[in-house]
């Protein structure tokens, strides 16, 4: 009997379903918690959220100051995990209206390259006046989600449970807005944290090409009779 699994011990790089993009109020920290910054930040929004590679994201910082700031710069540093990956500097008067005084909002738009890996990023924003005096400095984290072209809606395993030495068929129901004329299906098998098997298949031999809209990708796999319980990892490349 086929068992439809939406959360199973199969790990798919084929798809991560993304939530609807929307504004997100984000927690932040001052770089130096003991510093008495001239510019006080009291809110940060990220739109859209989560951040997607290749898509422009706007970081809106609500702040206030008792001074009259006629010029300066905004310096942005981005880290991926513990690695510094990007730095840029902008004229503050191009990010908000100058002179700056009282309550104001700085809006900065940034597009991460599509090839940047998904995961946790840390962004540091520092504000300087025309004399290079640091006016404020905040850091905050954000996540970049994978934006896969193929979205998986379900998996069937027949027969279930899988038995060593017996062929099992994994049917992946998916959809795409692309028109995929060729590619490959990469399959990895793991036992606990150990990699035990790897193979590559022509995608057009697993389903009908060109692939577009809704489609089903069946793959048959026979585990050795002596194999312990394992996890399968499917990767779809074109």
Q: What is the pLDDT of residues 146-173, one digit of tens each?
A: 667 788 888 888 887 766 677 878 888 8
The pLDDT score that the predictor gives to residue 15 is 30
Topology annotation, domain 3-16+148-237 = Immunoglobulin-like (2.60.40)
Confidence label for 92 from pLDDT (cuts 50, 70 and 90): very high
The pLDDT score that the predictor gives to residue 136 is 96
Confidence label for 220 from pLDDT (cuts 50, 70 and 90): confident
What's the whole-number average pLDDT of the chain?
Answer: 78
Instruction: Give the residue from 167, 227, 217, 163 showing the smallest Cα distance to 191.
Output: 227
- pLDDT of 30 over the 50 cut: yes
pTM greater than 0.75: no
Q: What is the pLDDT of residues 176-214, one digit of tens each?
A: 888 888 888 887 777 777 777 788 888 888 888 898 899
Confidence label for 20 from pLDDT (cuts 50, 70 and 90): very low
Q: Give domain 22-145's CATH architecture.
A: Sandwich (2.60)
Q: What is the pLDDT of residues 34-78, one digit of tens each?
A: 999 999 999 999 888 777 767 788 889 999 999 999 999 999 998
Where in the sequence of the chain do the CATH 2.60.40.770 domains occur? 3-16+148-237, 22-145
């Amino acid at each position: 009997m086929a068992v439809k699994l939406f959360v199973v011990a199969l790990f798919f790089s084929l798809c991560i379903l993304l939530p609807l993009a929307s504004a997100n109020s984000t927690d932040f920290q001052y770089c130096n918690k003991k510093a008495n910054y001239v510019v006080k930040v009291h809110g940060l929004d990220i739109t859209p959220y989560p951040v997607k590679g290749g898509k422009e994201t706007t970081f809106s910082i609500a702040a206030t100051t008792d001074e009259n700031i006629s010029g300066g710069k905004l310096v942005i540093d981005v880290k991926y995990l513990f690695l510094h990956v990007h730095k840029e500097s902008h004229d503050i008067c191009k990010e908000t209206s100058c002179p700056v005084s009282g309550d104001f909002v700085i809006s900065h738009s940034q597009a991460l390259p599509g090839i940047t890996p998904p995961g946790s990023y840390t962004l540091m924003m520092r504000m300087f006046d025309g004399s290079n005096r640091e006016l404020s400095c905040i850091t905050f984290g954000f996540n970049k989600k994978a934006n896969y072209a193929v979205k998986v809606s379900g998996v069937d395993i027949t027969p279930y449970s899988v038995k060593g030495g017996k062929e099992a068929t994994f049917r992946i129901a998916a959809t795409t807005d692309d028109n995929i004329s060729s590619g490959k299906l990469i399959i990895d098998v793991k036992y606990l944290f150990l990699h035990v098997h790897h193979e590559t298949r022509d995608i057009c031999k697993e389903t009908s090409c060109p692939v577009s809209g809704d489609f089903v990708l069946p793959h048959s796999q026979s585990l050795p009779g002596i194999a312990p319980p394992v996890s399968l990892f499917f990767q779809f490349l074109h």
